[in-house]
């Protein structure tokens, strides 16, 4: 729930999601994923850096054999607005052919990041199945339509920090997710 904050969190205008809410929702998502993929091995591909804490909490709730790979992808370059240019390694450094893949990102915003990674992943050799999980889905018009299969929270179109998400490299270590004070 939204609330005013002070002290160590005073750079936040408000907390959007507190640590308990995030932990409870991520645990529930992980259990749903585990049930949906029951009987299979799951290959999780996480997009860093923003989804670092999300994936760490999520995979520990999935009671299945899991392989975890990461890709570093960037479209914000430290600011508050997407540049529209998604930068990532030219080739996947791992083989996803025939695997059940869960692609994990922190936020679905313009849709450019997930759609670029999905295109590349399909080019590299089709997985047996491909699902996407995002912690946050922003309520806005997408530049590329992407269906997220697992969504933690739907939020308004505001810039958020905390729980892995940053502004100019700061605030990733906040256990909550909040809106920065404009000043
Ligand atoms: P797109 O626009 O490609 O965005 O769907 C996905 C990536 O953009 C970053 N992003 C944010 N990062 N606060 C952040 O710290 C935000 O409000 C925000 N919105 C988008 C994020 O890295 C995400 O993976």
pLDDT for 9-40, tens place per residue? 788 999 999 999 999 999 999 999 999 999 99
C-alpha of residue 149 to centroid of ligand 1, in Å: 18
Q: Is 177 in the pocket of ligand 1 (CB under 6 A)?
A: no
E-only strand ranges, the chain: 12-17, 42-48, 66-72, 100-108, 129-138, 150-155, 160-161, 177-180
Distance 20 CA to ligand 1 centre (A): 22
Q: What would the pLDDT profile of 119-158 be if each residue is shown by its tens digit? A: 988 888 789 999 999 999 999 999 999 999 999 999 999 9
CA distance 3 to 170: 21
Q: Give the predicted TM-score (pTM) of the model.
A: 0.91
Pocket test for ligand 1, best of 77, 107, 153, 157 (most atoms within 8 A of CB): 107
Q: Which residues are catalytic?
A: 109
CA-proximal residue: ligand 1, atom 10 (nearest): 107
């Amino acid at each position: 729930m939204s609330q005013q904050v002070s002290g160590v969190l005073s750079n936040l205008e408000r907390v959007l999601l507190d640590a308990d809410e995030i932990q409870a929702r991520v645990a529930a998502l992980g259990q749903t994923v585990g049930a949906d993929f029951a009987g299979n091995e799951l290959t999780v591909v996480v997009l860093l850096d923003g989804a670092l804490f999300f994936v760490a909490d999520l995979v520990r709730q999935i009671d299945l054999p899991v392989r975890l790979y990461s890709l570093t992808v960037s479209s914000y370059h430290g600011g508050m607005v997407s540049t529209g240019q998604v930068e990532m390694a030219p080739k996947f450094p791992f083989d996803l052919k025939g695997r059940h893949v869960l692609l994990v990102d922190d936020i679905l915003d313009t849709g450019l990041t997930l759609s670029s990674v999905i295109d590349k992943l399909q080019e590299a050799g089709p997985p047996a199945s491909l699902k996407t999980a995002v912690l946050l889905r922003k309520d806005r018009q997408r530049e590329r339509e992407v269906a997220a299969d697992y969504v933690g929270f739907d939020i308004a179109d505001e810039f958020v920090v905390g729980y892995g998400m940053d502004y100019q490299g700061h605030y990733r270590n906040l256990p909550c997710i909040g809106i920065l004070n404009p000043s």
